[in-house]
A and B are shown apart, each in its own frame.
Chain A
Amino acid sequence: MPYRLDDTAADLRERLYFPEVIRGVGILMKQFLRNFFFGREKNPDMLARDRSLSQNATLQYPEERVPYPPGYRGLHRLVPREDGRPRCVACYMCATICPAQCIYIEAGELPDDPIEKYPTKFVIDELRCVVCGFCVEACPKDAIRMDSGEHAPPSYTRAAQIWDEKRLLRGPPVSYQYDPWLRRGASSIPAEKLAEMKANAKPFSTVATDEYAQTPGFSVKNLAAEAKARGETLARK
């Protein structure tokens, strides 16, 4: 209880009961008419809604969605390199740390780059996953992320919840200055592409920032601003 309830006896007016009931009915009528005559604002950013006319707070879920907040641990993705292959080097760190033991990896060797391994199989059982994010923390290559901003979609079969590397490998590629293929080159990457990647590569951050914690370009504020720009607010001119 955030405040102490005033426990003094009701005065005569309150004990008459009817005046207070009529006042309460008046309040409800106001609320009714307000929501009867004015429509709900559809802005999915609930805090940015204009609640001066209709105070309707419902979000029609499957059609309208609130974007998940930054840092939300969503569905996993395997981060690709610029040439489309996974950054993963099949070191088994994530599979080792996973408390739910939901990650299964089989390593293979790249034919053109015999220094590194790559996962021939990388399978995550999303039904077993406890969404702890340890795999993301453990990965030395920043090759697995949970920044997709979505949760595991529902399915009718268990098999559909087992995600393999073909489904997991998606989203924008990320390059770092320390990436070996940037330093020594790779046969699968053309020279001019390599130069461009080198120019775009950034130093690996040791501090967790928004930029690393979320999907690139993803922002609640931006979404709300875009919704406003599309005119999804109630026009009151």
Chain B
Amino acid sequence: MRRFLGMLLFAMFGPVALVLLSYGLYWVVALVEHFTSGHGLPPTYGAAIANVLLLMAGVVMTTAALLTVGERKWSAMIQNRIGPNRIKVFGTSVGGIFFLIADALKMLTKENIEPSQRSRLMYELAPMAAFAPSFVLFAVVPVGPSVDIAVGTAVHKVALQVASIDAGLLFVFGAASLAVYGTALAGWSSNSKLAILGGVRASSQMISYEVSLGLALVGSMMAYQSLRLEEMVQAQGQLLWGFLPALGVFLQPVGMLVFFASSFAETKRAPFDLPEGESEIVGYFVEYPGMKFGMMFLAEFIEVVVLAGITAAIFFGGWHPILFEQTLKDTFGEASVAWAAICAGAFLCKVLLLCWLQLVIRWTLPRFRFDQVQKLCWKMMLPIALGNVFVSGALILLDGSLHLLAAVGLVELVAMVLLTAAASKKGEVPAPAHAAAHAAPGH
């Protein structure tokens, strides 16, 4: 009972803590901006630097690092285990987060064993090439709305977004495609058969999934008529028929499913973990020791966080809190920092929930065979994504106010729910012949 109450409190005050954190982030960014613009730098310079440090190095890195422990702990809960809990400080293990420090120490102090026939420059470059692109993706994700903050007499426009560029989603696709260079390089430069198998698998898988990843978002681009993520998020705040928020998940349910599945392949995690395939080839990083391996490992988790952020921004309303949105807006006022902080907190909540969902799916499904992966991509997801582009385009052409698109999207959602609920009885396992023996203790 104590655990239940504790977890309930955690679930209730977690979002509140995230809102407070966002409030702090806004003010820090505003103060840095105030400092730099006071010293003659052009506007938004300080804010951009502060955002890079706080959002990318702070929020994303921390979340990704915590996810490494979270994965172990959550998978334990899914599988009726306890998970890591042996490192205790003052008698408490606090969900096993001390394993983070232990893991980092282990990685950093490992002996540096390198294959003698490696291609030196490429070998050293590969972990960085794998790490950086997944990291840089987060630059265009809007964490919070832009708001005017007055520091003293000066008023600064502050948004929790590193870079607001016109290309927006195109930048996302470009940077995401770069990530494969790291894995392919790692596989090739290690001069190991297993590693190059992993690298080749990685490149063929990533190239196939880039296509459906991009096509899945075309529908959203057409619906919101923008490539900038912050404009797509703003467009999702409008209400259809006066009550339904124009979320991507309602307008583009098929696009969402295809994008989510493709982003799974992009993160190189189960069920698409063929580049690693621990049980068969160990993977493209098999020859990397210590922190070089750690960077590739962490890159996966960073990609999980970043793709959760992009999914949240395009399909789940970004920083719109959705629940009680109008009440909160009226209470705090649209121009206030408090309202912006609530929005940013809501976005962080969505990102964490999507990260959790990705981990749950990762533990649900076993690894695909390679031909199944290719079949799923080229024969299923690509036609679906293409069809989605044409259907969405036609619906937007017929009705520019998105009502028709939303109606069709809702029908698709309902169909999906019905299909999921209609479980077939066929797969039931017949009772074993010695059923009575199963009931006996110790059988």
Q: Which residues of A contact B (CB under 8 A)?
A: 2-4, 6, 8, 11, 13-14, 16-19, 21-25, 27-29, 31-32, 35-40, 47, 55-58, 60, 234-236
- B426, B433, B441: the one within 8 Å of A6 (CB): B426
- B380→A17 contact, CB < 8 A: yes
A121 to B334, CA, bound (A): 90
- A27, A29, A31: the one within 8 Å of B80 (CB): A31
A22 to B417, CA, bound (A): 9
B165 at the interface (CB under 8 A from A): no
Given contacts A18-B416, A28-B360, A32-B360, contact A37 B80 (CB under 8 A): no
B323 at the interface (CB under 8 A from A): no
- Chain B residue contacts of A4, Cβ below 8 A: 430
- A2, A14, A37: the one within 8 Å of B4 (CB): A37
B78 at the interface (CB under 8 A from A): yes
- B7→A58 contact, CB < 8 A: no
Most A CB within 10 A of own CB, among B360, B424, B441: B360
Given contacts A29-B360, A32-B74, contact A56 B1 (CB under 8 A): no
Give how many A-B residue pairs fall within 8 Å (CB-CB).
80
A19 to B429, CA, bound (A): 20
B77 at the interface (CB under 8 A from A): yes
Most A CB within 10 A of own CB, among B82, B357, B416, B422: B82
A37 to B364, CA, bound (A): 20
- A8→B81 contact, CB < 8 A: no
A220 to chain B, nearest CB (A): 10
- A37→B361 contact, CB < 8 A: no
- Chain B residue contacts of A29, Cβ below 8 A: 360
- A24→B364 contact, CB < 8 A: yes
For B262-284 the 0/1 string (1 means CB < 8 A from A) is 00000000000000000000000
8 Å CB interface, B355-371 against A: 357, 360-361, 363-365
- A3→B430 contact, CB < 8 A: yes
- A22→B74 contact, CB < 8 A: no
- B441→A55 contact, CB < 8 A: no
CB nearest to B8 among chain A residues? A37
B257 at the interface (CB under 8 A from A): yes
B26 to chain A, nearest CB (A): 31
- Chain B residue contacts of A24, Cβ below 8 A: 364-365
- B416→A19 contact, CB < 8 A: yes
- Chain A residue contacts of B430, Cβ below 8 A: 3-4
- Chain B residue contacts of A31, Cβ below 8 A: 77-80
